[in-house]
Chain A
């Protein structure tokens, strides 16, 4: 049960967005800019992979499941690829550059000062630019926030892969808006 009186029909961070619209606004704006808006570098799918990888390290079920599903839809891949990246990035079918960025993301997850010059150097050798290193660090840092927010208030995090998949498809299509949640989805979820 959530630690505070959240609207029961919404899962995870969505319940917090409905509870406190004032803070939902900048939190959604940040996710939109970091993950969804087009950038000259790092695709939306790669950005979502970093987000779900860090969420998994933080053991946040809601964020891991949601961003894994969005990554799947953004990459046009199977969920099995995303799961492989989470479990063993070194042997996953992703670029060496992305592998080196995931290493930096894992350092950030354990603490900012754990990122060492040699980690950054290794990413540069694989072709990562300063902007890519910057965005990786900030995405990893941002998920150390979102994950703590979702778990720190003990939000409802359903076990329902089909629900996360539909939400992933919706986020891919619509991006991150404070009010955007498919009501049919939540109704289906409650019945299941």
Chain B
């Protein structure tokens, strides 16, 4: 049960929190929409993978599984991607650029100052632009917020990967804060 009395306790993860406090829901949804579906030279699938991977490292089951399901929807792959992201994508063909940006995102997850010139140089050498580095850092940082929000208030989350399939499709194709 959540640490506070939500208006609808059936809504899982961040959904129950957004419903509880519409004033803060609005900018949070705008941020997710801009970061994950707005204009960027990174595909939405790549951006959702960064979001899911950081959420996994923050041990946030709801955010990891839902954003991995959104990545799977964007990429037209199966829900196996959810567990692939946990394992570091050993069997998924992804670019060296995305792997380098994930390295940066994983540093941000530990703390901003963990990102060093070496990580940035590696990303540049794999073809990442400044704006892609910027977006990877901000997505990773934003999920250090969303994950803490969801777990810090003790929300519940469905366990099984399959329970996130439709949610992922809605996140991918309808968007955040849209109906």
- Chain A residues in contact with chain B, CB under 8 A? 3-5, 16, 19-20, 22-23, 25-27, 29-30, 32-34, 37, 58-60, 104, 107-108, 111-113, 115, 117, 120, 130-131, 133-135, 137-138, 140-142, 144-154
Q: Which residue of A lies closest to B123 (CB)?
A: A3
Of the listed stretches B23-31, B44-52, B68-76, B160-168, chain A binds B23-31
Which one of B23, B130, B142 lies within 8 Å of A5 (CB-CB)?
B130
- A sample of 10 inter-chain contacts (CB < 8 A) reads A26-B34, A29-B27, A104-B152, A115-B151, A115-B152, A134-B17, A140-B148, A141-B144, A148-B141, A151-B115
Give Cα distance in the complex from A89 to B67, angstroms. 37
What CA separation (Å) do A147 and B142 show in the bound complex? Answer: 10
- Residues of B contacting A: mostly: helix
Query: How far is it, in angstroms, between the C-alpha of A108 and the C-alpha of B154 when the chains are bound?
Result: 11
Are A134 and B4 in contact, with the CB atoms below 8 A? yes
B29 and chain A: residue at smallest CB distance? A26
Tell me, yes or no, whether B82 is within 8 Å of chain A by CB: no
A108-B152, A111-B59, A141-B145 as given contacts; A134 in contact with B21, CB under 8 Å: yes
Give every chain A residue within 8 A of B111 (Cβ-Cβ): 58, 148, 151
Most-contacted residue by chain B among A29, A58, A137 (CB, 10 A): A137
Within 8 A of A (CB), among B9-42: 17, 20-21, 23-24, 26-28, 30-31, 33-35, 38-39
